[in-house]
Structure 1
Amino acid sequence: MLPTTLAQFADVLDYPQPGLAEKSRLCAQTVARMALPFLAVDSRQLSPDALLSAFAREVEPMAYGLQEEAYASTFDLGGAYPYIGYQLLGETYKRSIFMLELKNRYHAYGLSEGGELSDHLVCILRYLNVLQDEEEFCELTQYAILPALDKVLHAARMRDENDHSALPLYLAVLQALYDVLVTTVGEPLIKAAPWEEDHAQAQCEAFDEMPLAYDAMD
């Protein structure tokens, strides 16, 4: 049932399309039927199916334009970029290799990225839906998806330390996905490096060492 569930998560996390609330409820029903043990970080956190149901209730009355805004505010403007390779590796050569390998594996199963970069979370979830190799399934989940989700969700909670159980809309769906994967596959086996901090520090240091025009005139 897990592959089917991941395909349904992909439908929910894809760019908003008509029927988003129905897709969310369907995913919630599938997760509930899995009868997973509940891994609450505190007494206020909802179970994965409850998070998905709450998401469905929130987006159902929204006009399509507002659903697009909610999506953009999370994934495009909110910093929760849905690119697994980017979260793990940044804009590096290693990420390019990761994306190329994913692309080759998708094509081997007759899958297309559909206009997205190959390390987009939705693309990877749809790949896992058809993947037959259990070892690869676990490796991709525990070494890539879960560490990236953990990083995104941790950053979101750090931005709202007064109520770290409250996650806005699409982040709540990411939390539900994280909980489902942890309870079915296992904990993340690595921690995503905070490469953004290192990159920012390197840029500052490079700027400090850069000679200024008026220095050359002395």
Structure 2
Amino acid sequence: MSHFQTTLEKVSLQKCLLYFENLHGRPSTRQERTLMKPFYDRYRLVKQLLPCSAAPAVIPTIEEEESSDEEHPDQQSPRMPPVRLHSSRCDESADEPPLLPPLEMAEPPLVSPLDDGKAFQPQIVAMATLHEASRSELLDHLKTARFEKRRLHFALREFEKHFYRQTGRACQKEERGPMAEEYRQYKNLKAKLRLLEALLSKRDSTKTS
């Protein structure tokens, strides 16, 4: 599959699993786990395949990363924990999904989309509380927000790149379809980053005065 197809499948599976968990909670009985295991397994494998894809070309519809993101090259973004693939090479059998493990094998824990939210956003902080945060806390929030913004920026560029290939024109707001929620999150993250940078600038100017 192409990177766009993999990203789109991950988003679709994520939304379906979140909807299921909101209604019924995580599978707990053996019957529930047996029924839902293929979906969770597929979601986990799609997540593993995404880092193997190459970065796409820049699409002008999505705004480029602000220059402030590149002003601190020594600040490294948090990295996802390493995952073990069934194959040692990412480009091997790229058009065929890896086989799902049989149910008789020892079952790994189900990977829920809710866990992704915890990994990318360890602490959900309301905008108002940022004014009371210390400088070190603001820097932590800035680092996390930049990382999440880059992740969304990457996915949205892929979506717009595919849309342009199919239609020969840029994607309009009313055509965002399944990625509408990701666009909303991206916009909110940009606002949060502006607030964090303003607060840090204010703290720094207070120190020097």
Tell me whether the two structures share a fold, i.e. TM-score over 0.5.
no
TM-score, with structure 2 as normaliser: 0.32
